[in-house]
Amino acid sequence: MSETPSHPESRPVWEQRWHPLREEWVLYTAHRGGRPWIGDTHQAAELALPKYDPTCALCPGNKRVKGENPDYTGVYGFTNDLPCFSTEDSAATASDDFYQMRPAHGTAEVVCYSPDHSKTFVDLTDAECRDVVDLWAERYRELGAREDVDHVLIFENKGSLVGTSNPHPHCQIYAGNMIYGFTADEVTSSRRRHEEKGDFLGQEILQRELAGPRIIAENEAFVACVPWFARYAYEVFVLPRRQVASLADLTPEERQALGLMIREVTIRYDNLWEMPMPYVMAIHQAPTNNGDYSAYPFHLEFHPPLRKPDTLKYLAGPEIGGGSMTNESNPDEKAAELKAVSAVHYKMKR
């Protein structure tokens, strides 16, 4: 570090912040952000995609591993041809109380947002946004009602940087006899909050964020922010304005508002560097194994892997080796960047 602080405000901030949902510390090193970078870079590439790709397994009318897609015209969901959970009898029976094993029961589905191969969430109409969220809510209810499903995880991997093999606009649903780790953590943290304080963890975070500088978008039912305890530089949470535990608790108006909020967040992401922003988006919602999840904080999390248009956030020694996250940025500053860009997509202005 070459800076010579001349007054207290210019001193580096050595800081950790408590993540109230995951109950873990996040290390902040924004003052180290300017250190020279000599690693890999990822140049923004914008490919012009066709509206229909004959080799795409998700385009209407095309063959898949099993069967083929109908000539669908709107949002379209189907069972994943290679699911990670199954309804078939499993050979996983041999087990002891130390090296435990159990069958992976359940199913997995795919939801195509649009028949148009070239679109992403930013291109959806208001009605298409609503249709996507309506289908998510229906799948949550239907899959969650199954005996062999304890949790419905809906997520989107967008961009090759997060391993998406197919650019066709789609997300995935994993529904099995396993509660995913972050949701299990949030069940614990939100229950403890409700028992100790009598209120809701998600609503406390909402109130803190509404009072702070990190809101990037809001509508009548949802608020989007870079949370105070963000783990990634451009991490965004979409928080409901009232306590709800899952998509099934949302009114039709709220489902529409959620779809529009997702679209605005993804547009702001793309406008940041005028390139398609890669991210992992996950819908955090209550497990479906008949427990009491009334305090569970329903919300969406976006985790973009980029810190700059050409700089990936690597998960390395501290994260993979040590198990704790380092954020090289200041959440207030990253929120200001996402708030400053237009809510109209840059492609529309060309």
Enzyme catalytic residues: 170
List Cβ neighbours of 340 (8 Å cut-off, separation of 6 or more).
none
| Shorter beta-carbon distance to Zn ion: residue 20 or 115 | 115
Question: Which window, 45-53, 66-74, 94-102, 252-260, contacts Zn ion (CB under 5 A)?
Answer: 45-53
**One-letter amino acid of 214:** R
| Shorter beta-carbon distance to Zn ion: residue 51 or 102 | 51
Q: How many residues bind Zn ion (CB under 5 A)?
A: 6
**Closest among 83, 273, 296, 30 to 185, alpha carbons compared:** 296
| Shorter beta-carbon distance to Zn ion: residue 34 or 50 | 50
Burial class (CB in 10 A: 0-12, 13-18, 19+), 298: buried
Residue 9: beta bridge partners?
A: none
Question: Which window, 93-101, 113-121, 145-153, 294-302, contacts Zn ion (CB under 5 A)?
Answer: 113-121
Phi and psi torsions of 223, nearest 5°: -130, 135
Q: At what angle do helices 252-273 and 126-144 cross, to 10 degrees?
A: 120
We find the least distance from the C-beta atom of residue 152 to Zn ion, in angstroms, to be 25
**Closest among 121, 152, 127, 114 to 255, alpha carbons compared:** 127
- For residue 168, state whether it binds Zn ion (rule: CB under 5 A): yes
| Shorter beta-carbon distance to Zn ion: residue 58 or 300 | 58
Residue 154: beta bridge partners?
A: 173, 283
We find the least distance from the C-beta atom of residue 276 to Zn ion, in angstroms, to be 15
At 310, list the tokens. 């050409």
| Shorter beta-carbon distance to Zn ion: residue 128 or 186 | 128
- For residue 161, state whether it binds Zn ion (rule: CB under 5 A): no
CA 237 vs CA 202, 212, 216, 230, 312: distances in Å: 11, 14, 10, 9, 20
We find the least distance from the C-beta atom of residue 63 to Zn ion, in angstroms, to be 12
Name which position in 20, 108, 116, 117 contacts Zn ion (CB under 5 A): 117
We find the least distance from the C-beta atom of residue 59 to Zn ion, in angstroms, to be 3
Residues 51-70 that bind Zn ion (CB under 5 A): 53, 56, 58-59
We find the least distance from the C-beta atom of residue 291 to Zn ion, in angstroms, to be 38
| Shorter beta-carbon distance to Zn ion: residue 42 or 119 | 119
- For residue 151, state whether it binds Zn ion (rule: CB under 5 A): no
Q: Which residue is nearest to Zn ion (CB)?
A: 56
Q: What is the rounded CA–CA span in Å between residue 288 and residue 230?
A: 27
CA 341 vs CA 28, 158, 350: distances in Å: 25, 21, 16
| Shorter beta-carbon distance to Zn ion: residue 73 or 290 | 73
Looking only at the bridges linking them, the beta strands covering 215-218 and 222-225 are antiparallel
We find the least distance from the C-beta atom of residue 170 to Zn ion, in angstroms, to be 8
Question: Which window, 50-58, 73-81, 93-101, 254-262, contacts Zn ion (CB under 5 A)?
Answer: 50-58
We find the least distance from the C-beta atom of residue 178 to Zn ion, in angstroms, to be 30
Residue where the block lists tokens 């200041």: 330
* Contact (Cβ atoms closer than 8 angstroms) between residue 268 and residue 217: yes
Residue 86: beta bridge partners?
A: 105
Residues that bind Zn ion (CB under 5 A): 53, 56, 58-59, 117, 168
